[in-house]
């Protein structure tokens, strides 16, 4: 039902229906934002990536084929935005000289008491490809087929990455990881 609703909204969006566009942004922005935040970026940077994703979706909306699932198409765009941004940051960093940390940023923030392990910290211990698959599967609720489409890989590859990620997370949660 969820995908059918998204597909109908996408068709309306392709026909220049502003209400459909607003509804898509409203429904999908929270999970796209979580996708970017799970990549260990700041909230501000995740906001920028989200905005860039919606700009690209708007520019490419005519390329979506009606009848095809919308979520993998959108996540593929979000993934490309993240990769392009990462490459851009690396190019800039290679040309800039780092200055000393400013005093106000050097102050340690007090961490609130947590009830259990920090999800971002656990996900941060995974390789990027495994982290991406776990976020799409478990946080965004996508199917294996949708994740495979979004990452341009096979279902088997997605299963393998997820399995390896689960093993690593189990290891970390059990305390046997060093």
| Residue bearing tokens 């220049």 | 16
Q: Count the neighbouring beta carbons within 10 Å of the beta carbon of residue 28.
A: 23
The tally of CA atoms less than 13 A away on the side-chain side of residue 39 is 25
HEC string of 83-130? HHHHHHHHHHHHHCCCCCCCHHHHCCCCCCCCCCCCHHHHHHCCCHHH
Residue 101, φ and ψ in degrees, nearest 5 = -65, 135
Contact 131, 22 (CB under 8 A): no
The tokens of 29 are what? 């922005």
| Residue bearing tokens 């096979």 | 154
Indicate if 117-178 has the same CATH topology as 1-94. no
Contact 77, 57 (CB under 8 A): yes
pLDDT for 115 equals 66
Contact 34, 135 (CB under 8 A): yes
pLDDT for 33 equals 94
Architecture of domain 1-94: Orthogonal Bundle (1.10)
Picking from 155, 153, 154, 164, the residue whose alpha carbon sits closest to that of residue 131 is 164
Contacts of 41 (CB under 8 A, 6+ apart): 49
Mean pLDDT in order along the chain per 10 residues (178 residues): 73 93 94 88 88 95 92 94 85 65 52 66 88 88 90 93 92 70
pLDDT for 155 equals 94
The tally of CA atoms less than 13 A away on the side-chain side of residue 50 is 22
pLDDT for 76 equals 94
Q: Does domain 117-178 have CATH number 3.40.710.10?
A: no
pLDDT for 100 equals 58
Enumerate the domain spans of the chain.
1-94, 117-178
């Amino acid at each position: 039902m969820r995908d059918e609703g998204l597909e109908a909204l996408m068709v309306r969006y392709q026909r220049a229906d502003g209400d459909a566009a607003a509804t898509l942004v409203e429904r999908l922005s929270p999970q796209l934002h979580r996708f970017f935040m799970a990549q260990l970026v700041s909230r501000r940077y995740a906001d920028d990536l989200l905005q860039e994703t919606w700009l690209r979706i708007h520019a490419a909306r005519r390329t979506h084929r009606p009848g095809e699932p919308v979520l993998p198409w959108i996540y593929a765009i979000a993934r490309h935005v993240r990769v392009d941004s990462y490459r851009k940051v690396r190019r800039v960093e290679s040309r800039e000289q780092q200055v000393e940390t400013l005093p106000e940023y050097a102050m340690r923030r007090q961490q609130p008491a947590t009830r259990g392990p920090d999800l971002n910290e656990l996900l941060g211990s995974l390789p990027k490809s495994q982290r991406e698959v776990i976020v799409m599967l478990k946080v965004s609720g996508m199917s294996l087929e949708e994740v495979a489409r979004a990452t341009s890989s096979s279902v088997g590859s997605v299963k393998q990455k997820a399995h390896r990620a689960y093993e690593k997370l189990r290891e970390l949660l059990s305390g046997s990881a060093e």
